[in-house]
Each structure stands twice: as C-alpha cells, then as structure tokens.
C-alpha cells in the first residue's frame, strides 16, 4: 500500500522544453477520416464534438418550443395552440432542455474535450465506455423523440404522480424510459471522469495544481454518481406504476405521492448542481486567464465546489413546501437551503478578488464570464427568497420560480457554457471567430435575456401562476415584453450560429495559445494532435501562475533513448495517485 | 501494490463459514421473539456484520486503498441521508398518508 | 511497480493510454467501486421506500412476512454466500495462474446462481398462484391488512431488481468462462475477473440485507 511518506517524496525528472507546433498539418480532426471512423472513435475529443452536435440540436429544438410558448402567451386567451398542446410543449421544453441539454452540456462536451488535456493524459481512463456513454445518450434521445411523436407528454418535466402514473394520456412510458437510459450515460461519464482525475495525471499535477475546471468536474461527477441512481430507481418505479400499477406512489391503491416527490427531488435538486458546478469551473479558468492574474483563493474555490455538491443533497425538500410534507421537514429544509448561499458567495467574491487589480482583457469569453456573474447573482439571490419558507408559500408555482430558474440555468449555466465554448473554440477547431460579431451577439443575448425574464419576476410576485395557458388581462403587457425579449434572444443565437459557422469555414487560423494562458491544454498545438501531447508533460507550477515565464509551463519528460538531450532537471512531488 | 492481495484458500473458507454461522444465528434469533424495536436492531446488526465481512475479506477492502473504503462508506452515508431526511417528513406528518 | 516479474510479462491487454498494467488495473478497480456506489444508491431508493412504509405500518410487515418462506429464504442466503466464496476462489486461481481452477470455480458460481434463480422462481410461482401480485392486481385475502398489496409491491420490486442483477451476473460469468478458455487471463491480467467478482459480492451483500428485512420480520 502507498504509505504517507511516499506521497511527500520528491522525484527528479530529466526534462526539456516542448514548444507546441503552430498550425500542425496532422491533428485529431484530419488524422482519421470518414464517417465510420468518427462513429466508432474512442478519442475523447471527437466524442466531445459528437456530444456538441447533439446538444446543439436539442438546444435548437427546445429553444423553438420555448419561442412557441412565448408566442402563445402574446394574448391572454388562446392565440394559436390549444391548452393540451400548450401543456405538451412546456413539458417537452423543460424535459429536453434539462435532460438532453443542461445535464450533459458542460461535462459531456467541454469536460470530455478538456479534461484529459488539462491532465496531460492521452485519453480518459475508459475510452470505450466513453463512446458507449454517447450512444446510450443517443438511444435515450431516440426514445424521447419516439415519445414526442406517439402522443407526447403533458405532465411537466417533473412527472409528478399520480397524474403521470394514471390520469395523463400520452406516451409517458417511452419518455421516462428514455430518461432512465439517459441517466446511465450520465453515471458512466461521471465514473470515467472521476477515475481519470484520480489515475491519469501527468507527473507533478498534485491536488493543489489541479485546474479549477477539473475541481468543478470532479464535484459534478460526485453528484452524478450519488444522485442519478436514485432518479433511475424513481423512474423505474414510475414505469412499473404505469405498467403494473404497483401503487407505491398512487394514493388510489394505497401509496403516497409525496414519496415520489422526495425521490424525484433527491436527484433533481442535486441535478441543478450537475448543471451549474462545471460552469463554475469554466468561469474560474476564464476569469484568471483574462485578468492575467493568479486565481484568488484557489482552495476556497476548489473546496466550495465540493461543499456545494454535498449541501446540494440536503435541501431537496424546498421544492415541496406546499406539497403537504410535515412542517418539521419544511423548517429543516428551509434552513439547510440557506447554507447553499455560503459556498456560492465564496466563489463570487473570489472571482471578483481575482479581477481586482488584474490586467483585464475583455475578450468574448471574459465578457460572457462577466454576464454570468451579473445574471447568476440575481438568480442566486432570488433563490434565497424562494428558500425562505414563508415567502415561498406566496411565490411557489408562480412565474417568480420560472424567472429564478432561468436566471440560474440560462443566465448562469448557459452563459458559462458559452464562455467555455468561446474560450476553447480555437483549441477545438484551430480557428478564430470574429471577436466583433461575438461581442455584438453577446450584447443581443444579454438584452434579450433580461427583457424575457425580468418581467417574469414582477408577474410572479403579483401572482401569475406558472404553466398556465391563459392569464388575466392585467399581465398582458408583461407577457408581451417577455415574448419580444425571447425573440431578441432567438436572433442572438442565430447570429451566434452564423459567425461560428463562418469561423469554421473561413476563420483565421488560431495560434496554439491565443489567450496567453498558462494552463496545460494550451501547451499543445491547435487543433490538438490525435494523442494530445507528443511528450509526457511535467508540471512544476500552478495553472494560474501568470507571474512565471511561459517556458516553465512547457516542460516534458526528455526521451531516454531519443536524440533529444535533457535540458535540465526538475524536482516534482510524487503524488499517491499518479504513476511514472 | 495494494490491489494484488492473494488470500489463501483456507482463509476464504474461514470467511465463508463465519458467514454461514451468522446466517444460522440470524434465523435462530427470529425464533426467540425479542421485543419490538430490538429484534430489528439485532437482525440488522448481524446483517451489517456480514456485509462488512464480505466487503473487507471477499471484496478485499481490508487491503485496498483507503479511497475505495471511503467510497463504500460514502455510499452508505448518502443512503442514510436519503432515508433520514425523508423520515423527517413522513414520520411527522399530521396525516400519515393523505386520504383520498 | 518496476520490479521485474518472474513470469515474462505479457502486455497484449495494456491499452495505449495507460502507462503500465498496474495503472490500468487500479483504474478499472476504482471505476468498479464507483459503479458499486451507484448500485448501492440504486437499491437505496427501494430500501428507503421499504423503511418509510414500515415506519407507517409496522403491523403490516409482521403479517405479510409470514407469507414468505423462511426456509427457502435461508437456503438462498447459503447459496449466494457459497457463490461469493467460489468467486473469491476463482479470483485466487486467476492470481495464481491456475486457469483450470478459474474455469471450474466460475462454473460452480454459475450453477449456484442458477440454483438461486430456480428457488426464486418457485417462490414467485407459489405467490402468484395465490393471487399475491403487486399493487392493483393483488387479490389474496389471507392477510388482514388493507395495504398488504403495497408490501408485496415493495417485495417484488426489491427481489425482482435483485434477481435481474443475478441474471446479469450469470451473463458476465459465462462471458468470463469463454474468455478464460481463450487463455486471455493470467496472473498479470485478470482485471475482468476481479471486477466481476466485486459486482457479485455486492449482489450478495444486498441479499444479506433483503433476507432479514423481508423474511425474518417476526
């Protein structure tokens, strides 16, 4: 067994400098060609891109559904769809956005692409499992599409019993089964990432030199592993309820519907942290890079991710304040909910402190990071209000909740995802996008977003219930303002698609390190070579040490028998986890 | 390395026999009729001892890295969280099951 | 790690992105342990439902468990513990390069697992005969409690899910036998045997709890 003194051991390594090759002729995108090679690839980068294609598709579908909803809400009465249709559309918007876009977006797309690069590994620990996760995701998605075309689902994305188990028409079986399958994709990705972070690190990457993006992904993996199985069993029970009427959740047969809500939220509350915590990781990377400054409070940020992951498991009952649970549980959950604010606040202040007196470079990813800080803080504060028991009785199931959720998910997580996408885009494709159009688009989305969701806070506080097809005339001006905002946001995303495609086709070639970052993924060429690094990287500095020269970040083990001679010798700590 | 512990055949048989004995014990206890809360406690304790024996000596956690042990404990801990906090609701409802 | 082994190292199993067999082995084992965590929480949901309903209706559990046959439950416990032993022996054989022993032990394990399922089948058949079915389909009137159907819903879900895990385990072990016959495993590489063993022991541990919780309430 690895003993404690071994972990303190220092090892001498013969190293030399490896400058990344600029605009390499061979890279992961062109080394293996053909559709078949793509579909059967075990390369984490290509799998990341396949996920990217899939989630963009689902984001588009669910986004169009959202625009349909907003269009319907232009007038207080029926505009163009009937109430049943409306129920189906908001259910699909929610279910697709959450299960097929938000949950896999950052971990499966950016995480897959970046995680091994930031570790200096050739791939994730289980590459075939990684590919399997992708196909499990696709199969789950097919079930869902099948459900949409064979009757749809109108229960809301939460599938509350007994409505979902008995009354509701539509194809709930196929939908829940699709999401059940999807859960396995999420679990397997989590396992893969955790093992990779533990076992596949390059020499010198100790826990305190791990990029904060990886701390975020690590915390996310923990939640995925601990929470997703409970969703799986819940949906399995729901399926059985519908198929065999087992009655555990059905009051007509003797069961308890609130128990379903406990099980469901035991997953689904931590699941919102599956969505947002990896976003925190991206924001840490971006803010440090574009402030040219070492991150403030490294351990505070790293450990607050783990703290959020843990506390996230203690607060699920705040979704059930009005569902008839005991008042004791209500009070305990309300109290615990406030605790989440602490680690989140710690993060926000550390990011602000990182920017303070930094040399801030307002490139697009940084602009998105600032948008994130602004919108996420609003979303977080309104969450505290909803967590307060007395206030929640008034605000529960109103547009206030809708606005809060969209501020944290869209304003928080999607902005973080866009920050990450713009930040790593040059690394992924070796092309730059138009900085000008990217910033214009960001402004359009920002304006559209706030126009859409700010009025919803007001409406909700005044009593506009969520999920309603009709409303009283009093709310019409708010709804119309909100709908116009949604269209503006839609235009923003079309603009983004346009300049991104332009970048792929005609973009200027990117250098290996366009942002001057010190992190490991930027010390290899853009696009990345098939096996990520031509050498085994050696890490002697932290990933945010901007006060140290770039050359110190490009060390790799000198080949023993090659014609390259070692340039120098460095001492790195031997970590228990890592291998020679 | 930690992962390559090889147990002797005798040892493995010993582990299995101790598990068999504990199974007899737990069936036996069921026929004694211990008063209400304690019969559950006794049976679950025996089961827990058996589970720990399996985990430690069949699954080799005894010789394994501490992180794997922690994972095992963590899963139990989160299960207890799920049950414990749910019971905070279900045990203290005014009406145990909403009547329909 | 770097000690030269007595047997000449075979390295066909080593995947390109790992540095050595040890790293690969440790990674696989850690992955399996994390998977077992998810399994525990997967069953955890059912155990939670069990506990909540038991806290509501303790008398129901006393009455309903009398329908379960302690004798066959105990036999199945012995069968599963025995199969855990043979799996552990199989791993030991692989570690010692005794491929014949490995295959024999795997076959015994498969046999015990099948025995378990056969006993389970007779238990189910006997109940279904009586009309003890889950939830709304419940039609037995031998238990004087209006929620008896819920107990059996939980019973069928728990033992059914456990049974599915046993079937998966049988499948995995048949696959291991095929691999072993092709001489894939040796003392330097037996990772699939080891991690299947871990899975099988967990299935055993779950049964160790199911037995007293369902059969031995009184």
Kindly state whether residue C9 falls inside one of the protein's structural domains: no
Q: What are the Cα distances from residue C54, in Å, to B81, C51, C123, C134, C135?
A: 17, 5, 22, 17, 16
Residue of B nearest to C44 (CA): B79
Q: Are A354 and A296 in contact (CB under 8 A)?
A: yes
Q: Are A530 and A37 in contact (CB under 8 A)?
A: no
pLDDT digits (tens, 9 = 90+) for A132-190: 999 999 999 999 889 888 888 888 899 998 888 887 777 888 999 999 999 999 999 99
For the cut 50, the answer to whether the pLDDT of residue A3 exceeds it is no
Q: Given this model, what pLDDT does residue A2 score?
A: 41
Q: C-chain residues within 8 Å CB-CB of B75?
A: 36-37, 40-41, 44
For the cut 50, the answer to whether the pLDDT of residue A25 exceeds it is yes
Residue of A nearest to C132 (CA): A246
Surface of A (251-270) touching B: CB under 8 A: 251-252, 254-259, 262, 266
Residue A35 Cα, gap to closest chain B Cα (Å): 40
The closest alpha carbon to C177, from C86, C90, C80, C113, belongs to: C90
Give the pLDDT band of residue A297 (cuts 50, 70, 90).
Answer: very high
Within an 8 Å CB–CB cutoff, is residue C84 touching chain B?
yes
What percent of chain B is helix, strand and coil (3-state, nearest 5)?
Answer: 80, 0, 20
Q: Given this model, what pLDDT does residue A563 score?
A: 53
Q: How is A35-53 classified by DSSP, letter by letter?
A: HHHHHT---HHHHHHHHHH
Q: Given this model, what pLDDT does residue A571 score?
A: 79
Give the residues of chain B that fall short of pLDDT 50. Answer: 1-2, 100
Query: Which chains have at least 3 CB atom pairs separated by less than 8 Å from chain A?
Result: B, C
Kindly state whether residue C13 falls inside one of the protein's structural domains: no
- Pair (B39, B57) in one structural domain: yes
CB contact under 8 A, A200 and C135: no
Q: Given this model, what pLDDT does residue C2 score?
A: 40
CB contact under 8 A, A251 and B98: yes
pLDDT digits (tens, 9 = 90+) for C96-124: 999 999 999 999 999 999 999 999 999 99
Domain count, chain B: 2
Q: Given this model, what pLDDT does residue A580 score?
A: 37
Average model confidence (pLDDT) across chain A: 91
Q: A-chain residues within 8 Å CB-CB of B91?
A: 326
Secondary element (H or E) of residue B28: helix B9-32
Q: A-chain residues within 8 Å CB-CB of C16?
A: 122, 531
Residue B24 Cα, gap to closest chain C Cα (Å): 8
| CA dihedral for A286, A291, A293, A298, sign (positive or negative) | negative
- Pair (B11, B36) in one structural domain: yes
pLDDT digits (tens, 9 = 90+) for A71-84: 999 999 988 999 99
CB contact under 8 A, C45 and A121: no
Q: C-chain residues within 8 Å CB-CB of B65?
A: 26
Residue C141 Cα, gap to closest chain B Cα (Å): 23
Q: Given this model, what pLDDT does residue C202 score?
A: 96
* Domain boundaries, position C192: 21-215
Q: How is A111-180 classified by DSSP, letter by letter?
A: IHHHHHHHHT-SS-S-HHHHHHHHHHHHHHHHHHHHHHHTT---STTTT-TTIIIII--S-HHHHHHHHH
Q: Given this model, what pLDDT does residue C133 score?
A: 87
Q: Give the nearest partner residue to C44 out of B12, B23, B82, using CB atoms.
A: B82
The closest alpha carbon to A303, from A182, A222, A422, A416, belongs to: A222
Q: Given this model, what pLDDT does residue A579 score?
A: 43
As a whole number, mean pLDDT of residues A481-491 equals 97
Give me C83's structure tokens.
């199969």
DSSP state of A482: H
Give the rounded percent of residues in chain A with a pLDDT score beyond 70.
96
DSSP state of A315: -
Kindly state whether residue C206 falls inside one of the protein's structural domains: yes
Q: Given this model, what pLDDT does residue C6 score?
A: 40
pLDDT digits (tens, 9 = 90+) for A422-465: 999 999 999 999 999 999 999 999 999 999 999 999 999 999 99
Query: Which chains have at least 3 CB atom pairs separated by less than 8 Å from chain B?
Result: A, C
Q: B-chain residues within 8 Å CB-CB of C82?
A: 16
Q: Which residues of A touch C (CB under 8 A)?
A: 121-123, 125-127, 129, 187, 190-192, 194-195, 198-200, 225-230, 232-234, 236-237, 240-241, 244-248, 250, 253-256, 259, 263, 531, 579-580
As a whole number, mean pLDDT of residues A184-208 equals 93
- Pair (B48, B71) in one structural domain: no
List phi, psi (to 5°) of C68.
Answer: -90, 140
* Domain boundaries, position B94: 65-100
**Burial degree of C129 (CB within 10 A; 0-12, 13-18, 19+):** exposed
Q: Given this model, what pLDDT does residue C1 score?
A: 37
Give the pLDDT band of residue A33 (cuts 50, 70, 90).
Answer: confident
- Pair (B11, B57) in one structural domain: yes
For the cut 70, the answer to whether the pLDDT of residue A562 exceeds it is no
Q: Give the nearest partner residue to C89 out of B12, B78, B79, using CB atoms.
A: B12
- Pair (B50, B83) in one structural domain: no
Average model confidence (pLDDT) across chain C: 90
pLDDT digits (tens, 9 = 90+) for A551-560: 888 888 876 6
Kindly state whether residue C163 falls inside one of the protein's structural domains: yes
CA C189 to chain centre: 24
pLDDT digits (tens, 9 = 90+) for A274-294: 999 999 999 999 999 999 999
| CA dihedral for C168, C171, C172, C173, sign (positive or negative) | positive
- Pair (B42, B73) in one structural domain: no
Q: A454: Cβ–Cβ under 8 A, 6 or more apart, which residues?
A: A403
Q: Give the nearest partner residue to B58 out of C40, C77, C84, using CB atoms.
A: C84
Surface of B (30-89) touching C: CB under 8 A: 30, 33, 36, 39, 43-44, 46-47, 50-51, 54-55, 58-59, 64-65, 67-68, 71-72, 74-76, 78-79, 82-83, 86-87
Q: Given this model, what pLDDT does residue B3 score?
A: 55
Within chain B, strands assigned E span none
pLDDT digits (tens, 9 = 90+) for C123-156: 999 999 988 988 888 888 888 888 888 999 999 9
- Pair (B37, B69) in one structural domain: no
Query: How far is A183 from A225, CA to CA, in rounded Å?
Result: 10
Q: Given this model, what pLDDT does residue C145 score?
A: 83
Q: Is the N-terminal amide bond of A162 cis, ω within 30° of 0?
A: yes
Query: How far is A553 from A18, CA to CA, in rounded Å?
Result: 9
List phi, psi (to 5°) of A200.
Answer: -115, 30
Give the pLDDT band of residue C13 (cuts 50, 70, 90).
Answer: confident
Q: Given this model, what pLDDT does residue A161 score?
A: 86
Q: How many helices (H) and strands (E) does chain C have?
A: 6, 0
| CA dihedral for A208, A209, A213, A218, sign (positive or negative) | negative
- Could you give the dihedral angle defined by the CA atoms of residues A43, A115, A55 and A168, in that order, rounded to the nearest 10 degrees? 110
Q: C-chain residues within 8 Å CB-CB of A580?
A: 1-2, 19
Kindly state whether residue C15 falls inside one of the protein's structural domains: no
Kindly state whether residue C209 falls inside one of the protein's structural domains: yes
pLDDT digits (tens, 9 = 90+) for A364-393: 999 999 999 999 999 999 999 999 999 999
Give chain A's domains with CATH numbers: 7-573 (1.20.210.10)
CB atoms within 10 A of CB A516: 13
CB contact under 8 A, B89 and A226: no
Residue pointed to by tokens 């829940």: A176
Q: Are A382 and A461 in contact (CB under 8 A)?
A: no
Within an 8 Å CB–CB cutoff, is residue B26 touching chain C?
yes
**Burial degree of B69 (CB within 10 A; 0-12, 13-18, 19+):** middle
pLDDT digits (tens, 9 = 90+) for A497-514: 999 999 999 999 999 999
For the cut 70, the answer to whether the pLDDT of residue C54 exceeds it is yes
CB contact under 8 A, B63 and A1: yes
Half-sphere exposure of A321 toward its Cβ, with a 13 Å CA cutoff? 21
Query: How far is A500 from A489, CA to CA, in rounded Å?
Result: 17
Surface of C (13-52) touching B: CB under 8 A: 22, 25-26, 29-30, 33-34, 36-37, 40-41, 44-45, 47-48, 51-52
Q: A202: Cβ–Cβ under 8 A, 6 or more apart, which residues?
A: A119, A120, A121, A520, A536, A537, A538, A539, A578
For the cut 80, the answer to whether the pLDDT of residue C3 exceeds it is no
- Pair (B58, B98) in one structural domain: no
Q: A-chain residues within 8 Å CB-CB of C206?
A: none
Q: What are the Cα distances from residue A485, in Å, to A146, A441, A444, A489, A546?
A: 32, 14, 10, 6, 40
Q: Given this model, what pLDDT does residue B39 score?
A: 84
- Pair (B58, B69) in one structural domain: no
Query: How far is C211 from A406, CA to CA, in rounded Å?
Result: 47
* Contacts across the B-C interface (CB distance below 8 Å): 134
Q: Could you tell me the strand order of the sheet in which A10-17 lies?
A: A555-557, A10-17, A568-573
Residue of A nearest to C26 (CA): A199
Q: Given this model, what pLDDT does residue A575 score?
A: 59
Give me A18's structure tokens.
């490896």
- Pair (B77, B51) in one structural domain: no
Residue B90 Cα, gap to closest chain C Cα (Å): 7
Q: Given this model, what pLDDT does residue A4 score?
A: 44
Q: Given this model, what pLDDT does residue A10 score?
A: 80
Give the pLDDT band of residue A19 (cuts 50, 70, 90).
Answer: confident
- Pair (B33, B52) in one structural domain: yes
Q: Given this model, what pLDDT does residue C10 score?
A: 63
As a whole number, mean pLDDT of residues A86-113 equals 93
Tell me how far apart the 2 most distant CA atoms of chain C are, in Å: 70
Q: What are the Cα distances from residue A49, in Å, to A5, A109, A113, C31, C34?
A: 42, 7, 8, 24, 26
Q: C-chain residues within 8 Å CB-CB of A246?
A: 134-136, 153, 156-157
Give me A109's structure tokens.
């797309």
- Pair (B83, B45) in one structural domain: no
Give the rounded percent of residues in chain A with a pLDDT score beyond 90.
75
Q: Given this model, what pLDDT does residue A5 score?
A: 45
CB contact under 8 A, A317 and B91: no
Residue of C nearest to A238 (CA): C157
For the cut 50, the answer to whether the pLDDT of residue A561 exceeds it is yes
Q: Given this model, what pLDDT does residue A8 score?
A: 56
The CATH number given to whatever domain includes residue C27 is 1.20.120.80
Domain count, chain C: 1
Q: A-chain residues within 8 Å CB-CB of C155?
A: none
Residue of B nearest to C84 (CA): B58
Give the pLDDT band of residue A564 (cuts 50, 70, 90).
Answer: low
Query: Which chains have at least 3 CB atom pairs separated by less than 8 Å from chain C?
Result: A, B
């Amino acid at each position: 067994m690895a003993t404690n003194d071994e972990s303190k051991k220092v090892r001498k390594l013969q190293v030399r400098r490896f400058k990344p090759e600029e605009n390499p002729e061979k890279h992961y995108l062109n080394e293996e060609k053909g559709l078949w090679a793509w579909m059967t690839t075990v390369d984490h980068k290509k799998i990341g891109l396949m996920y990217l294609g899939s989630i963009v598709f689902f984001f588009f579908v669910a986004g169009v559904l959202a625009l349909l909803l907003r269009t319907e809400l232009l007038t207080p009465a029926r505009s163009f769809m009937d109430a049943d249709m409306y129920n189906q559309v908001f259910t699909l918007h929610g279910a697709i956005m959450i299960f097929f876009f938000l949950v896999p977006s950052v971990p499966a797309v950016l995480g897959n692409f970046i995680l091994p690069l930031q570790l200096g590994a050739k791939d994730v620990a289980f590459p075939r499992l990684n590919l399997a996760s992708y196909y499990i995701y696709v199969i789950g998605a097919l079930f869902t599409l099948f459900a949409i075309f064979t009757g749809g689902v109108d229960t809301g994305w939460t599938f509350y019993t007994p409505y979902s188990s008995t009354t509701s028409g539509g194809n709930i079986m196929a939908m829940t089964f699709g999401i059940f399958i999807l859960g396995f994709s999420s679990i397997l990705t989590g396992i893969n990432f955790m093992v990779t972070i533990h076992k596949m690190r390059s020499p010198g990457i100790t826990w305190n030199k791990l990029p904060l993006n990886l701390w975020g992904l690590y915390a996310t993996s923990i939640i995925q592993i601990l929470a997703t199985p409970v969703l799986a069993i819940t949906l399995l029970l729901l399926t059985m309820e519908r198929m065999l009427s087992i009655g555990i959740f059905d009051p007509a047969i003797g069961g308890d519907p609130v128990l379903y809500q406990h099980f469901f939220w035991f997953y689904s509350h931590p699941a919102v942290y599956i969505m947002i915590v990896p976003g925190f990781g991206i924001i840490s990377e971006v803010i440090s890079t574009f402030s040219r400054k070492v991150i403030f409070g490294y351990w505070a940020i790293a450990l607050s991710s783990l703290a959020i992951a843990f506390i996230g498991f203690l607060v699920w009952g705040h979704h059930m304040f009005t569902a008839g649970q005991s008042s004791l549980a209500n009070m305990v959950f309300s109290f615990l909910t406030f605790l989440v604010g602490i680690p989140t606040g710690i993060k926000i202040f550390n990011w602000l402190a990182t920017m303070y007196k930094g040399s801030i470079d307002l490139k697009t990813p940084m602009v998105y990071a600032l948008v994130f800080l602004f919108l996420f803080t609003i979303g977080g504060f309104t969450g505290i209000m909803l967590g307060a028991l007395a206030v929640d009785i008034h605000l529960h199931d109103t547009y206030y909740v809708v606005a809060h959720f969209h501020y944290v998910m869209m304003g928080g997580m999607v902005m973080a995802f866009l920050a990450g996408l713009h930040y790593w885009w040059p690394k992924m494709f070796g092309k730059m996008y138009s900085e000008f159009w990217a910033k214009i688009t960001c402004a359009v989305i920002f304006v559209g977003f706030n126009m859409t969701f700010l009025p919803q806070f007001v409406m909700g506080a005044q009593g506009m219930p969520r999920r309603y097809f009709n409303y009283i005339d009093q709310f019409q001006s708010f709804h119309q303002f909100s709908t116009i905002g949604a269209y503006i946001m839609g235009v923003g995303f079309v603009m983004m698609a346009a300049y991104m495609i332009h970048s792929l086709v005609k973009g200027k070639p990117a250098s290996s390190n366009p942002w001057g970052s010190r992190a490991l993924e930027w010390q290899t060429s853009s696009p990345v070579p098939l096996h990520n690094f031509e050498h085994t990287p050696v890490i002697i500095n932290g990933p945010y040490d901007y006060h140290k020269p770039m050359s110190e970040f490009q060390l790799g083990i000198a080949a023993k028998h090659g014609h390259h001679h070692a340039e120098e010798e460095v001492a790195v700590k031997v970590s228990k986890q890592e291998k020679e | 390395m930690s992962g390559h512990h090889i147990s002797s055949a005798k040892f493995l048989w010993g582990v299995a026999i101790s598990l068999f004995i504990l199974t007899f014990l737990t069936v036996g206890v069921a026929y004694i009729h211990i008063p209400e809360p304690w019969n559950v406690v006794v049976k679950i304790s025996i089961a827990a001892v058996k589970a720990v024996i399996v985990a430690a000596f069949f699954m080799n956690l005894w010789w394994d890295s501490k992180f794997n042990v922690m994972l095992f404990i963590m899963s139990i801990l989160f299960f207890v969280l799920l049950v414990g906090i749910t019971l905070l609701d279900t045990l203290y409802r005014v009406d145990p099951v909403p009547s329909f | 790690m770097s000690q030269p082994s007595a047997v000449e190292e075979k390295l066909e199993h080593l995947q390109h992105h790992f540095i050595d067999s040890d790293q690969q082995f440790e990674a696989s084992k850690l992955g399996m342990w994390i998977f077992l965590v998810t399994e525990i929480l997967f069953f955890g949901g059912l155990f939670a439902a069990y506990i909540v309903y038991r806290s509501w209706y303790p008398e129901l559990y006393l009455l309903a468990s009398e329908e379960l046959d302690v004798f066959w439950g105990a036999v199945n416990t012995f069968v599963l513990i025995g199969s855990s032993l043979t799996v552990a022996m199989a791993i030991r054989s692989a570690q010692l390069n005794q491929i014949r022993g490995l295959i024999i032990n795997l076959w015994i394990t498969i046999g015990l697992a099948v025995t378990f399922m056969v006993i389970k089948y007779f238990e189910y058949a006997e109940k279904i005969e009586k009309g003890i079915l889950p939830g709304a389909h419940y039609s037995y009137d031998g238990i004087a409690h209006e929620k008896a159907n819920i107990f059996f819903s939980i019973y069928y879900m728990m033992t059914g899910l456990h049974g599915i895990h046993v079937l998966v385990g049988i499948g995995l072990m048949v696959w291991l036998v095929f691999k072993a016959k092709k001489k894939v495993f040796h003392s330097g590489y037996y990772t699939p045997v080891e991690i299947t063993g871990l899975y099988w022991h967990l299935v055993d541990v779950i049964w160790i709890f199911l037995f007293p919780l369902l059969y031995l309430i009184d």
